[in-house]
Chains A and B, each alone.
Chain A
Amino acid sequence: MQEQVKQVAAQETVIYKKRRQLPDIWHRFCKNKRAVCGLVIMILIVLAGIFAPVICQYDPIQQNLREAYQTPSLAHWFGTDSIGRDLFTRVVYGIRTSLLCGIIAVTISLVIGGTLGAIAGYYGGKVDNVIMRFMDILLAIPSLLLAISMVAALGGGMINMLFAIGFSSMPTYCRTLRGEILKIRKTDFVEAAKAAGAKDSWIIIKHIIPNCLAPIIVRVTMGVASAILFCASLSFIGLGIAPPTPEWGQMLSFGRDFIRTYPHMSTFPGLAIMVTVFSLNMMGDGLRDALDPKMKT
């Protein structure tokens, strides 16, 4: 009897543990098979990009006309292109270019667009109106056309292209962040914190930022995918990354001339784009569900 009492007492003493949300989020993420699949593919892709020199035995830029126009074989897994470069090597090295472009372009649009959106959402009124009308103007122009015209005006090259992509995809980030902040600013828990005597800085750091982080992470994941597509599209029409550097879009356009006779030349870079974008989007979808604490575990 006494032991029982002791046991009950032992159960009742609960110690406060800082409960991190990460394990919960990870648990929810793992439940989504597609998302995990996307994550695994992305990890493989990133690893391949990092260890490209180890994986590939050829040089991505060196021409070798004796080996030109080869179809896929054991020596050249993805075949070779019209000037004898190994396509597998180029696709693997292309990961570096594409991911880097995607990440930098998204960072640019997130920093500019996000800051503007946050300002618009937090201050409201006239500032909000001016910023959002400007974003509406940007939205009214098809973003690819905007990027093309910007690159045409600024001149080609990687940095100009990244700025063009970043600038033209800015409105989405601006709108997302503004919407989130507007929503959170009006919630009762912000009001409750204010009533408890919290300063603005406390409310921003403790409540507003953590609560808009989730949609931003989701946007960024999907944004990287679309920036990679953008980058490939611009390179395809010759406005992006200059030829010797391996880049998927540019490889696609290079292989376009031989598409009837040697379809592998454009198939593999195309597949690489597709797989990357696809797995990033799957990951983003899974993240959206996982980051919402209200979703049932």
Chain B
Amino acid sequence: MSEKLVEVHGLKKYFPTKKGLLHAVDNIDFYINKGETLGLVGESGCGKSTTGRLLLRLIEPTGGEIKIEGQDVMKMGAKEMREFRKKIQIVFQDPYASLDSRFSVYESIEEPLRIHKVYNDPKEMEKRVFELMETVGLAPRVINSFPHELDGGRRQRVGIARALALNPELIVLDEPVSALDVSIQAQILNLLQNLQKQMGLTYLFISHNLSVVKHISDRVAVMYLGKIVEMAETEELFKNPLHPYTKALLSAVPTPRIDIDKQRIVLEGDVPSPIDPPARCRFYNRCYCRCEGCAEQDVQLVEVKPNHFVACMQAQE
């Protein structure tokens, strides 16, 4: 279980803007064990999706190191990278935009197989597509349909089937359920969990929905303004959050009970601009337990307990 499939060190992505460098992802480290699900949470604009795309090199990182199965992804040439893409796939948030409206379901699922010329025999290809459709729970009769003829849940299933086509090791799930109805969300989440069990997949699950993340993840990483502020096993993180931001985040999750008197931590102020942020704790201006030391230097992610990392000076002490 502890074999690391993905290791990321000092990953950075700065976007040049007119006002300066936008630190979308700033020096983050994390790892994902083989067969587990790492949930990546944070508010919108904190760099979660960028992180996912960086992992696939859909966006070129500014700096840092990504190792998948011990191979350095960053050093791969274009040809090698194309071959390596088989191992990492992505499922997008919006199933309406992620399928070409001119491709039928068959053509969409077949596309990755055709790109990599997996099958030469059209019969085998057809068999494989049917097989994939069955795996993701799509009725065979929709095979000739176009995306606009399907509902959101089915489209997302097509997206998942595409991602599975090449037997990947790692799937980046970029908010795969946030565009769907709640009832369909549950179906898709269960499907994802079953697939993981059957195929031993590893997931990076990006979401802003804490309940969903709690449900599906083995470990959770919390992002704030381009940095990972806390990373721990799900149970540990939800029971014993150390970073003030995580605490505030968790206190905002609605609980369907009225007998518990919950203390909601309300943060003041807005998320500061990610353009050229000062070298101090990113959370400094909104933190409710800051001290003088916090403003002086950037905080590093430190392992305070086994498998519990936190980037807060107070908590580290």
Contacts and interface: CB of A to CB of B under 8 A. Distances in A.
A290 B86 CA distance: 37
Given A14-B143, A189-B100, A293-B148, A198 B58 contact: no
B85 A199 contact: no
Given A21-B102, A210-B102, A293-B146, A197 B115 contact: yes
A19 B149 CA distance: 14
A202 B115 contact: yes
Interface of A: 12-14, 16-17, 19, 21, 187-189, 191-199, 202, 206-207, 210-211, 293-294
State the 7 A-B residue pairs at the shortest beta-carbon distance, nearest first: A197-B85, A188-B98, A196-B112, A188-B97, A14-B140, A197-B82, A189-B100
A195 B144 contact: no
B144 A189 contact: no
Nearest to A24: B146
B102 A12 contact: no
A17 B102 contact: no
B144 to A, nearest CB: 5
Nearest to B59: A191
A12 B111 CA distance: 25
B162 interface: yes
Interface in B135-149: 140-141, 143-144, 146, 148
Contacts of B83: 197
Interface in B103-161: 103-104, 106, 111-112, 115-116, 126, 129-130, 140-141, 143-144, 146, 148, 159
Contacts, number: 80
Contact of B90 (A13, A195, A294): A195
A206 B98 CA distance: 15
Interface residues of B, number: 38
Nearest to B112: A196
A192 B129 CA distance: 18
Q: Which of A12, A192, A211 has the most CB of B within 10 A?
A: A192
B295 interface: no
Contacts of B144: 14, 16-17, 19
Contacts of B129: 16
Contacts of A17: 144
Interface string B210-252: 0000000000000000000000000000000000000000000
A293 B102 contact: yes
Contact of B116 (A19, A192, A197, A293): A197
Contacts of A187: 97
Given A188-B94, A195-B58, 17 more contacts: A12-B141, A16-B129, A188-B92, A188-B97, A191-B53, A191-B58, A191-B92, A193-B111, A193-B115, A195-B88, A196-B89, A196-B112, A196-B116, A196-B165, A196-B166, A197-B112, A293-B102
Nearest to A196: B112
Contact of A16 (B58, B126, B148): B126
Interface of B: 53, 56, 58, 82-83, 85-86, 88-90, 92, 94, 97-104, 106, 111-112, 115-116, 126, 129-130, 140-141, 143-144, 146, 148, 159, 162, 165-166
Contact of B148 (A12, A189, A294): A294
A199 B82 CA distance: 8
A189 B97 contact: yes
A93 to B, nearest CB: 41
Interface centre among A12, A189, A198 (most CB of B within 10 A): A189
A191 B56 CA distance: 10
A197 B89 CA distance: 10
B180 to A, nearest CB: 15
A187 B98 CA distance: 7
Contact of B115 (A21, A196, A293): A196
Q: Which of A12, A16, A193 has the largest count of B CB atoms less than 10 A from its CB?
A: A16
A48 to B, nearest CB: 36
A189 B96 CA distance: 9
16 contacts: A14-B140, A16-B129, A16-B144, A19-B144, A19-B146, A188-B97, A192-B99, A195-B89, A195-B90, A196-B112, A196-B115, A196-B116, A197-B82, A197-B83, A197-B112, A198-B115
A30 to B, nearest CB: 19
Contact of A293 (B53, B101, B140, B141): B101
A19 B94 contact: no
A194 B100 contact: no
A84 B294 CA distance: 99
Contacts of B140: 12-14
Contacts of A199: 82
Find the residue from B83, B88, B97 having the highest chain A CB count within 10 A: B97
Contacts of B88: 195
A26 B196 CA distance: 44
A241 B101 CA distance: 45
Given A16-B144, A293-B101, A192 B82 contact: no
Nearest to A19: B144
